[in-house]
A and B are shown apart, each in its own frame.
Chain A
Amino acid sequence: MDKEVVAKLKERLKEAFIEAVTPRVGRLTVEVSKESVLPAAEILLGEYDVRLVTISATDLGLDIQLIYHLSLPRILVNLKTILPKEDLRIASLTPSVFGANWIEREIHDLFGVEFEGHPDPRRLILSYEWPKDNTPLKGPRKGLASEFQKPTMENLISTGQIFPMSLMAKRQRVKMKIPEVLPTTIANPEALDELQTVVKGVGFDGKVGYDWKTKKMRY
């Protein structure tokens, strides 16, 4: 059963399907991109007799993890996705499964997740006077690196060296009659590309929360 579900999701979702693991008999955890949670749920709803058990939310520091617990005949499917805290929007499941209604409202109250297309996005468990930006179970965005470590990690990933090469250092080097810049990753784009491939290959960028666009940490 689990193999059949995985095959169907893989075939229909293509690149949006991230991975699937079977922790034990009768359980299947499938990770998909946030854009594909609704399509994945709808594939299962169209193929099987599905009951939504609940949706759980966890603050991972940099991201919020949502798990949609779906009960299928003889198997429980945990449909997992990660929402970056910078953009906590995701399509609501409520129009497809009405049982998601109050669960999504509760997660919105406590974690600030915006369920787009929810037919009744009122507060559920927080009072109406509660400050709008105060989401009690969502902490500030933070990752593994300390303030002291962040520049080190940013420089390492973006240049391959942990300290930037300043103009003053270059001038001093020329005056000392040593090469202005050494042939390291700073001066060798192909070598830097290799290093960044390794960084991505071992998942270090995601682990420390590095943003490739800004070349800074996300926190």
Chain B
Amino acid sequence: MKQYAMLWGCTVQTRLPSIEAATRKILDVFGVNVLDLEGASCCPEPYTSALIGRELWYALAARNISLAESRNFELMTICNGCYDTLFEVNESLKQDEALRRRINSTLFKIGKEFKGSSEIRHIVEILDEDVGLDRIAASVRRPLSDLRVALHPGCHLYRSKTVEDYDRKPKIFEHLVRLTGAQLIEYGLEKMCCGYPQRQADEEMSLKTTLATKLQRVRESRAECLVVVCPGCCVQFEYGQIELRQRYNLDFGIPVMHLAELMSVALGIPTGDIGLETHRSPVSKIVAKLEG
């Protein structure tokens, strides 16, 4: 089994550690070794620095990639935002020699170099290609057949090298959720953005127009839980629900879980071990149902 350097990302590390705990558990079950990337920084996030200072965005992402390259590891991420930044910078610097030279001239000053020898891998790709769907299906100890879930793949999961490949990762995500035994409920707005990036321009629009619209359809679909594969989206859905309740008196009460957490539960890992109670949405309702 390959080894990977893991860029956990700021959101997971500081706001949603239960996703990290669950990911470590499931990767351990499947024998995937991950190395915490020593000296890594924010990816950096693709909304602010990429818009205000693209040169910094390239340079810091290239620095993170160079840390994995120097150890001959491929870089894994469990966050769509990190994936988007690292993927786009990796591909841009590989293809544009002048840009690579310019960014490397900055990195040389800190003793780093972007070589373009690493690939960026999202966890869904690793679970599909390295672990294998059959092995995952065989490892399910607690099928979640009583659980109705809605999916939110997130915009950046569609990032791909070719147009034909654009929905490969979202489909893997869907397969992985199916393997847990959960019932997938369609609500018609799966591809709609969670609204997180819109917050920079207009918080009210992000919450009332985008997030509330999506949550309303999830609620109408009678799904019991929303499953995401991006911590950024998870924060938007969880903290966004609190803000919608406090500011606009809109109460949805929809639990939100990351794919890694759902898989942990299906693999029979005790929910207490992965800190599901730390979520800001009512995930405890799901835990009570599954364990009751």
Contacts and interface: CB of A to CB of B under 8 A. Distances in A.
A96 interface: no
B200 A175 contact: no
A203 B55 CA distance: 9
Given A176-B274, A197-B110, A184 B39 contact: yes
A214 interface: no
B8 interface: yes
B63 A202 contact: no
Contact of A204 (B15, B18, B56, B278): B56
Interface residues of A, number: 42
Contacts of B55: 202-204
B39 A169 contact: no
Interface string B249-291: 0000000000000000000000001110010000000000000
Interface string B62-76: 010000000000000
A108 to B, nearest CB: 33
A183 B52 CA distance: 27
Contacts of A176: 17-18, 20-21, 273-275
Nearest to B278: A172
B72 to A, nearest CB: 18
Nearest to A183: B38
Interface residues of B, number: 43
Contact of A156 (B18, B20, B36, B49): B49
Contacts, number: 130
A207 B8 CA distance: 28
A156 B42 CA distance: 7
Nearest to B235: A163
Interface of A: 144-146, 148-149, 152-153, 156, 160-166, 169, 172-173, 175-179, 182-185, 188, 190-192, 194-195, 197-199, 201-204, 207-208
19 contacts: A146-B201, A153-B48, A156-B45, A162-B10, A162-B48, A163-B11, A163-B13, A165-B14, A182-B13, A183-B37, A185-B39, A191-B40, A194-B111, A197-B109, A198-B56, A198-B107, A202-B53, A202-B106, A208-B53
